[in-house]
Amino acid sequence: MHVDGRTVIVTGASSGIGRATAHEFARRRAHVVLASRSRDKLDALAGELADYPGRRLVVATDVTDRLAVEALVRRTVEEFGGVDVLVNNAGVGLFAPIATGSLDNMHHLFNVNFWGAVHCIQAIVPYMRRQRRGHIVNVSSVAGKVATPYLGAYSATKFALTAVSNALRSELAGTGIGVSTVYPGLTDTSFQENMLREVDVPDLPAYLRTAGPAAVGRRIVQAVRWNLRDTYVTLADFAAVNAYPLAPALADWALRLFWLGPGARLSVEGTPFEAIGELAEPSAADASEPPSESP
């Protein structure tokens, strides 16, 4: 599908990959609908895109709210007469152990990363069916192919998104609607710094962040233009995912060595809810326990 003059909804558009993706579509003369929770950041982004051809629409949206998502799609169709592309990019991250991690944070993770995407898909597909055309891009992650220590819950949301893509692609065969899954690896954005943290984990050195958000945005546009099924941003990402099944025990050992090294102890500083971003409210049981003091 060519993107010139097409209408594109990008969720999680206020920063990182979403922001870069909005730039890439706008550069190619698409009409871009900017969706995220932060109206101020979306307005600033719309200003950045003003010099590109095409029109912009800002709709502050919480993808965990099904009615808000339906309103986003309706507003888009009213404004542009249809909707051609959905980029399901909104997401949050979580570093937490599976056995002892906060269930509230895990539920919040699924509400955004999984249910948010499903809300968008269910709201937009009826319009695309009537048009007999459309394209849905689900932004998964290399973590949606390979799970690592402390990223189990996050990986589970991305594995689930991969499953949704694969099933949806078959269900929509013959309708003119394409479905792509994009698997970014370690990307040079603030995403890791903004992840919810229940454990101390090593900071990733810059040289491991092999792609910038613009590279991911370009790959998303390519996925739409060429109707790509599964696509990776770098050769290293592709190699890592495809090498894992060949030597899973060795790969698990290497991942444990990295994540469970001397700097990966359980955090005793603050509570699981004291992190950057909007978090789930603590449960009554969690709220009744005061935070531990640092040694």
Residue 167 CB coordination number (10 Å): 11
> What does the block give as tokens for 227?
């109707």
Give one DSSP letter per residue of 168-216, joined into a string.
HHHHTTTTTEEEEEEE--SBSSSTTTTSEESB--PPPPGGG--B-HHHH
Identify whether 183 is a catalytic site residue.
no
Mean pLDDT of 94-102: 92
Domains, the chain, ordered by start: 7-287 (3.40.50.720)
- Out of 154, 183, 232, 244, the active site residue is 154
Lowest-confidence region among 13-22, 192-201, 259-268: 259-268
Rounded to an integer, what distance in angstroms lies between the CA atom of residue 213 and that of residue 235? 16
Whether 10 and 25 have beta carbons less than 8 Å apart is answered as yes
pLDDT digits (tens, 9 = 90+) for 18-40: 999 999 999 999 999 999 999 99
Mean pLDDT of 44-63: 96
Split at pLDDT 50, 70, 90, the class of 264 is: very low
pLDDT digits (tens, 9 = 90+) for 145-201: 988 888 899 999 999 999 999 999 999 999 999 999 999 987 655 555 566 776 776
Q: Which carries the bigger pLDDT value, residue 111 or residue 286?
A: 111
